[in-house]
Amino acid sequence: MGLWAAVHAERLGVDTMLVDAGRFGRGASGGVLGALMPHMPDRWGGKKQFQLEALVVLEDEIAALEEATGLPAGYRRSTRLIPLPKPHLRKIALGHSEDAERHWHHGERHFHWHVLDAPPVDSWIDPDAGMSGFVHDTLAARVAPRALVDVLTAFLRKARHVRLAEEVEIERIEPDSGRARSSRGDIRFSRCILSAGHRSFPMLDGLTQDLASPLGQPVKGQAALLKADIDAGLPVIFRDGLYIVPHEGGQVAVGSTSENSFDDPFSTDHQLETLLVAARTLVPALADAEVVERWAGLRPKAIDRDPMVGPHPDHPSLIALTGGFKVSFGLAHRLGEAAVRDAIGIEPVLALPKDFSLTNHINVASNKM
Ligand SMILES: Cc1cc2nc3c(=O)[nH]c(=O)nc-3n(C[C@H](O)[C@H](O)[C@H](O)COP(=O)(O)OP(=O)(O)OC[C@H]3O[C@@H](n4cnc5c(N)ncnc54)[C@H](O)[C@@H]3O)c2cc1C
């Protein structure tokens, strides 16, 4: 998220320093999955409309950065397959198909939630997995998380307005005196965008009065990367929280667990092995695929589940940019842009849903809602 914010700061000519305690993009964003999954097309509202627009424009945003850097981000609108194992699920899917026809369009572009009797491609998902058919969603896409981080970082290394500082840990933020205490001394600012993933929450808690609950929590996720001789253009598969994401270069990502409590944030265990067994059953082509990496990270989950973006009501020079939880990659470009525009006091290109504001999350955490 912070990398995207810095890209927008550069474009807007805002003098900025991007600081990271470690190397850029090695937090939750340095994983392997990169699924860009739309919300369901039913019960339409502002949040779903915002995500739709963000998912559509991301394609051009990434293309522009690839062009500027000469590096690939591993983006592809690969679409998504969802097996329907029971007849009642097909009925629901047919309703969603009508919802998608109504809502899934942006400019000239239309996307669909097709309900099919059989998978649209051979030698991929087990046809028996969809006893009542398959959804084929044409809006879903994927990006290679580490490749995207490399593209964003390469763009910023050539920036005129953004300075980069790795291995600098922010220990405390004092928004009212415009000072951040860091492991390398004090940093002065007129505006500070706090985009430290799940570690943003305790910092914000410490600057907020009368909270009844913390503003957010880390949720652990585990995923794996497999090597397989498959077409990188195959659809992403989704079933009950299991994602199978084909990437370029014969790599397939499998994820993810969702763990509210854990002993070791970065270890992998039997829960990931269970997901791998499920993936190999659902996709016979992966039965013998070698696991080349097992990975775990901590997602930032804000108290109200939605992203947390915008100025602190008591410290307006401090702007939150976190809480992307499971959908950060599809929204970060828009959220980062909104945070930078907040920082310089101009209207966002696309207004954020009110529920995303830091003020909303503080109200929820203070039992004011
Ligand atoms: C297994 C797994 C699978 C996932 N799959 C998907 C997916 O398919 N699609 C999707 O959209 N999302 C997915 N997510 C969620 C997504 O990865 C996260 O929501 C997203 O990466 C969060 O980005 P962020 O910039 O907020 O946090 P991070 O990427 O964690 O970045 C925070 C940065 O802040 C730095 N930092 C922290 N504290 C300090 C400090 N005190 N001083 C200085 N720097 C600091 C860290 O070093 C880090 O670089 C997945 C997450 C996991 C764990």
CA–CA distance, 186 with 122 (Å, rounded to integer):
59
**pLDDT mean across residues, the chain:** 97
260 pLDDT exceeds 80?
A: yes
First-to-last alpha carbon distance for the chain, in angstroms, is 28
Ligand 1 atom nearest residue 245's Cα: 8
CA–CA distance, 19 with 23 (Å, rounded to integer):
9
Q: Whose CA is closest to 152, among 344, 336, 350, 349?
A: 336
pLDDT at position 103, please?
A: 98
pLDDT tens profile 305-363: 999 999 999 999 999 999 999 999 999 999 999 999 999 999 988 899 999 999 999 99
Cα(201) to centroid(ligand 1), Å: 13
User: What residue's CA is closest to ligand 1, atom 24?
Assistant: 197
Q: Write out the two tokens for 186.
A: 């004090």
Over residues 54-80, mean pLDDT: 98
CA–CA distance, 127 with 124 (Å, rounded to integer):
9
Testing ligand 1's pocket by substitution, the residue of 222, 257, 299 carrying the most ligand atoms inside 8 A of its CB is 299
Q: Write out the two tokens for 196.
A: 């430290």
pLDDT at position 350, please?
A: 87
Ligand 1 atom nearest residue 327's Cα: 11
Q: Taking CB atoms and a 6 Å cutoff, what residues make up the pocket around ligand 1?
A: 1-2, 19-22, 26-29, 31, 33-35, 169-170, 195-197, 199, 221-223, 255-256, 297, 299-300, 322, 324-330
pLDDT tens profile 135-164: 999 999 999 999 999 999 999 999 999 999
